[in-house]
Amino acid sequence: MKQRVLFICNRNAGRSQIAEGLMRALCGDRFEAYSAGMNPSSAINLSTVRVMEEAGIDLAHHRPKSFQEFVDMHFDYLVFMCENNQPCAQFPRTQHVMYMEFSDPARFVGSDTDVLEGFRALRESIRAWLGEAFGCP
């Protein structure tokens, strides 16, 4: 049986979407990945979609979701990706709670190239962390 993982960040437009997409692609045989936001954006960040497409992962059909859509579900892992490692929500039916702070891509500034480089670095940081924390290749 696959273990369920929920990634939560602020808007569910960048970090948590990247983590969900990578986990599904890299170790979806062992994990069911979901993502949500505390205050969901109206749309996924286009740079998120672009850098994930570069990695062969299609997020074009994804949409930001509220954490409230998942509060009644059981999760083996709840990963808070919010700033300052602050708990963002309560999920009483979760076995393991993790805190992992990654740069907020909403704060990436500069030229389009600079912003995309920030998103690529974020993607690779999340990929490396998934390898360490969950054994995803």
**pLDDT per residue over 5-60, tens digit each?**
999 998 999 999 999 999 999 999 999 999 999 889 999 999 999 999 999 999 99
Q: How far is 4 from 25, CA to CA, in rounded Å?
A: 14
Q: Structure pTM?
A: 0.94
- What is the rounded CA–CA span in Å between residue 52 and residue 24? 12
Domains and CATH numbers, the chain: 3-134 (3.40.50.2300)
* pLDDT tens-digit map of 45-62: 999 999 999 999 999 999
Locate 35 and state its tokens. 């993502």
Cα(61)–Cα(48) distance, integer angstroms: 12
Q: How many residues does the chain have?
A: 137
Sequence-ordered list of residues with C-beta below 8 angstroms from that of 114, at least 6 positions apart, any chain: 108
Distances (CA, A) of 37 to 16, 26, 27, 56, 82: 8, 22, 22, 24, 9
Q: How confident is the model at residue 83 (pLDDT cuts 50, 70, 90)?
A: low
